Amino acid sequence: MSTGSSKSSNVEGPESCDFAILAVQHRELLSTLEVVDHVDKARSSRNAFYRVRVTSPNPGAKTLKGVVAATGGVGRVQGAVAASHLLHLVTPKWLFLIGVAGGFSANNVALGDLIIASRIIDYEEQRLTDEGQEFRLRTFEADELLLKAAKLAGETNWPQHVHCLDAMRPQLHFGSILSGDKVIASRRLVTSFLRKNPNLLGVEMEGAGVAAAASKIHGRIGFLMIRGVVDLANERKREDARIWIDCTCDSVARFTVATLVQADLAQQRPHNPRST
């Protein structure tokens, strides 16, 4: 990473860019800044963000310009506020939300793996009665091009510089991820979630808010959420997270950049319509 001087500047209205990466926590932000080029710190009226560049290793590929910022807090509301603020400052083609998550081992998700959301399921909207609770699930679909790019990125050597704790390449899982404001550290709750939807990969706390904000502000923005598994949403949540946080954040950052490169390549390929 080539780092320029950490200079601040006032932002006057939205600026166009190729991508924006919104990291949930500072640790994920730092990992991302380590794998991009030309870090230039800027400051808006609320918080700092970074102008960055990503250069594809493919011959003739262009340099992609983007911004990286942190949500500044956890939960759906904080995610929505951070995304809304960022998307009023910049108009990216693609928006990535990255962070850590609790994985569901019943679906072969292991510590250190990455889960990529083809669908985010907001479970917080509920109707409460004397008979119990009725979930009113709201879903957000991933951008098809970014999802395809993530699958192509999985075929590259993206984790070559990641230090994996168990010396195993992180596995990639594509599917539905729960999103809500509760910290889940209960095998019983995980089992309950899986009874309702057996294919769930895990649970996190900001995705639904960011996805909702992105769909309201820019209806055509491409959105994808990538999460690293640092716990299994059970009683060992805190202990496991402390062990896995560093290498998993590095994995998420490197895989996100690899996905970004593949998305740009996909757009450059000539489109061949089906013959009729």
pLDDT 10s digits, 148-190: 999 999 999 999 888 888 778 899 999 999 999 999 999 999 9
209 or 137: which carries more pLDDT confidence?
A: 209
CATH of span 15-268: 3.40.50.1580
Better pLDDT: 239 or 42? 239
Q: Where do the structural domains in the chain lie, given as residue ranges? A: 15-268
Q: 28-49 burial, b for 16+ CB within 10 Å, e for fewer?
A: bbebbbebbebbbbbebeeeeb
Distance CA(14)–CA(86), nearest Å, equals: 9
Reading the block at residue 184, the tokens are 């889940």
The alpha carbon dihedral of 259, 148, 112, 141 has a sign of: positive
d(CA 54, CA 60): 14
Q: What is the pLDDT of residue 275?
A: 41
Looking at per-residue pLDDT, the higher value among 13 and 144 belongs to: 144
pLDDT of the residue at 14: 67
Instruction: Give 131-150 pLDDT, tens digit per residue.
Output: 777 778 899 999 999 999 99
pLDDT in tens, 53-92: 998 877 777 899 999 999 999 999 999 999 999 999 999 9
Residue 179 corresponds to which tokens in the numbers above?
């999103």
Q: Is 3 helix (H, G, I), strand (E, B) or coil?
A: strand
Q: Residue 21: is its pLDDT beyond 90?
A: yes
| CB-neighbour burial class of residue 247 (10 A; exposed 0-12, middle 13-18, buried 19+) | buried
Q: Count of CB atoms within 10 A of residue 139's CB?
A: 12
Determine the pLDDT at residue 7: 43
pLDDT in tens, 219-267: 579 999 999 999 999 999 999 999 999 999 999 999 999 999 999 998 8
Greatest CA separation found in the chain? 64
DSSP string, 124-143: --EEEETTEEEE--EEEEPP
Query: Among all chains, which residue has been given the structure tokens 């990286």?
Result: 68
